[in-house]
A and B are shown apart, each in its own frame.
Chain A
């Protein structure tokens, strides 16, 4: 019998290849038929709302934008992905989610308040990996892995801006910024010194699940400008 090398402290050989995932099945919906009863504000109002949303100048601009019908777009803001149509998402939020790297198929789960994984390509070939969740007036945005030689810092700070803008576009008042699965002890110490509190969160299914990961989080208010 071939011996199995144990490379790390808790390394052990895998023997089973069966598993199940807890990923929710995406739902498919259809747009309403017949004449819409939604009031139709002028196109300029939507444009102003979008500007306010992206600039963070209006706390409720995101939700208002979501329900706005300009006549150029349906009353339902629809996202078309492989899973079907997803109502309840503004164009601004949809664009930001695309920028962040959330897959269209995962949008129904995101809108249901679940945590979804995102990836962003980097020059190194190792994607930036993280999770995002929007629940109520709070957005959780967590980085799990960043590796972009010479660009990791830029990627991280860019992600912070994207998460802040997405939170505002979705009507959130709080941004919980997180760093998970940290492997550098000095970074762990620095995060704690900067007010990031340690906690646990389930590892996403896509990364193998079965256990929790250490997450350092800090909450920022989106209407106070400290994010």
Chain B
């Protein structure tokens, strides 16, 4: 469960869920519908009752873990003292 903000109406996505759509399917539909990233995360959490991490993973799709790996490598380069 997650909180909603005034004006939120995610009933169409709840209907998709009820029709058997997966969280990944619904995440793609939300993006196609033009929802911004913040709203998509809030909506996915509300409709599917998932954690922030799970909603973020569904929103970003398969690239998410790969992106974070690249970020880790970059941080390593920047923050590890060179000899």
- A, B bound: yes
Binding site for B on A (CB under 8 A): 2, 4-5, 7-8, 10-14, 16-21, 117, 119, 125-127, 129, 144-149, 152-153, 156-157, 160, 180-184, 186-187, 190-191, 194-195, 203, 205-211, 213-214
A10 contact set on B, CB distance < 8 A: 49-51, 54
Shortest C-beta distance, A26 to chain B (Å), equals 14
Shortest C-beta distance, B26 to chain A (Å), equals 9
Binding site for A on B (CB under 8 A): 1-6, 8-11, 14, 17-24, 31, 36-38, 41-42, 45-57, 59-60, 63-65, 67-76, 78-80
Given A13-B49, A21-B3, A8-B54 contact (CB < 8 Å): yes
B11 contact set on A, CB distance < 8 A: 17
Apart from A2-B19, A157-B74, A183-B65: 7 A-B pairs, beta carbons within 8 A: A10-B51, A11-B23, A12-B48, A152-B71, A181-B52, A184-B72, A208-B55
A180 contact set on B, CB distance < 8 A: 52
- Nearest B-chain residue to A13, judged by Cβ: B49
Q: Which of B17, B56, B63 contacts A149 (CB 8 A)?
A: B63
Contact B71 A208 (CB under 8 A): no
Shortest C-beta distance, B54 to chain A (Å), equals 5
Contact A190 B72 (CB under 8 A): yes
Contact A213 B38 (CB under 8 A): no
Shortest C-beta distance, A193 to chain B (Å), equals 8
Contact A156 B68 (CB under 8 A): no
